[in-house]
Amino acid sequence: MTTPARTFYGLRHGATDWNREGRFQGRTDNPLNEDGLRQAHEAVDMLRCAGISRIVASPLARAARTAEIIAAAISVPLAIDDGIIEFDFGSFEGLPVRDLMIKHGVTSATGLVSILPADGESWDAMTERSLACVSAWLDRHPGDDLLFVCHDAVMQGMANALSGSYFKNSHGTPFRYVCDGAHWRVEQVVTLDRYSPSPPAT
């Protein structure tokens, strides 16, 4: 497994109508809806003080548009990279997530990964390509704090591979993938006026 050399940021795109309807949304190129546009603008407030100096986005419209809004607002360069495109759900594409979870008797992200169809992408392959993409950008720009605007499956795959667990991911909510020596953790980025920051680890 490719392991990034340092801490980076990840952000799930703003919502689409398929997200609102709870459907598997892999490579289907749906646009942001009104909620998604609002979430993209709200993410700016959380990222403005984070020190982001470069953004890389998935080519799918929902991620690219989210990234464009943020990049314009904080005046940083934006690049598009296929390496963090969303997972290909194969024959699950467009189907209701909840119905399939009930049908297969699964209740967690781990369970969901276990029932993915064979005609889609391999979960491990998706995780590896995403980590390789992130690592390449971090190596190419060692002085930059990078934000990767992508998708839930991509972010979950990387989180589980690096930290050993999945996490609750929300549209337009930035997270830091923190490299702390040999250990990784995923933490939500919050603004100081909304939450009290945790004291730094010593």
Enzyme catalytic residues: 13, 86
Q: Are 41 and 15 in contact (CB under 8 A)?
A: no
- Residue 51 burial (CB < 10 Å; 0-12/13-18/19+)? exposed
Q: Are 40 and 69 in contact (CB under 8 A)?
A: yes
- H/E element, 37: helix 34-47
Place of tokens 């991911």: 169
Q: For residues 123 and 43, give the distance between their C-alpha atoms in angstroms, rounded to a whole number.
A: 28
Radius of gyration of the chain (CA): 16
